[in-house]
Amino acid sequence: MARRKEFLKKCLPVLAVLLVSMVIGITGATIVHNMTLTNPIKTPPVEGSILEETGNTKKTWFKNDGESPVFLRIAYSESWETGSGDGLRTLPLEAVKKDGTKVRVATPNWKNTEDWVDGGDGWLYYKKILEPGYQTNLIVEGVKVIATTEFADLVDEEAYMTGSYQLHFTMEIVQASDDWKVNKDAVGKLFGTDKEGVTLDNATQTLTWPVSSEWNPNSDQS
C-alpha cells in the first residue's frame, strides 16, 4: 500500500489553475468588458489550461494540454465589488430594488451544463475523460447585465454603476490510467471523493461521480 501511494504521488499529480476569467466594469452608461488570464500552471506530465475567446462575447472553456488523458473538475465564484483601497466593499449579487424586490444585476450565460455534474462539495465534475489535446465545450458565453435604465431602480444604484462584476474559475485535473483501480485510488486521494463511487461507461467513456446531481446553475438565479 505504501508503494502504491508513493507511485500515485509521482505519477498522478493534480493540477490547479486559478483564473479571474471574466470582469465586467460598469461606469455610467458604459459597460466595458475585459478578461485577464493567468499563465497555465504545468506539472508534467499533466498540463491543462483555462481558455477564453475575446471579443464582444466572452467564451470560456477548459483544455487538456498534456500527453495523458485526465479527469477534470472545476469550481467558480461570482462577486460584485465597488470602491478601492480602504473604501473597497463587496456588493450582493442580487441588488435590492426601490420597491423592495431583488434582481441579479449580472447573470452568466451558462452553456452545455449537461456536460457537468454537481458533486455537492463545491466542485463541478466533467462527465468524460478528457483526452490529450482535447477541450471541453464552452461553459460560459458572455454575461447578461440589466439594461442601463434599470440601474435607476436600484437602492444602491451608484455602487453598482461604478462597481465591477467578476467571475472566477478554478480548475483541477488528475491523470487517468488504463488501470481503473489506479484511477479510483488517484481520484479518491487527490480529489478527496469516495473512490468506490466513481464508475466508468467504457463504451462512451462517461463518468458517474459519487454523491452528484445534474448541474442547473439557473435554478437559483432571478
Q: What is the pLDDT of residues 129-154, one digit of tens each?
A: 899 999 999 999 999 999 999 999 99
- Whether 4 has a pLDDT exceeding 60, the answer reads no
The answer to whether 145 and 103 have CB atoms below 8 angstroms apart is no
Q: What is the pLDDT of residues 177-222, one digit of tens each?
A: 666 666 666 666 667 665 556 777 767 767 777 666 788 887 655 4
- d(CA 67, CA 175) in angstroms, rounded, equals 10
Q: Which cell goes with 215?
A: 448541474
CB burial class (10 A; 0-12, 13-18, 19+) of residue 28?
exposed
User: Could you tell me what percent of the chain has a pLDDT over 90?
Assistant: 35
Mean pLDDT value of segment 48-63: 84
Q: Which residue has the higher pLDDT, 105 or 120?
A: 105
Q: CB atoms < 10 A from the CB of 190, how many?
A: 19
- d(CA 181, CA 184) in angstroms, rounded, equals 5
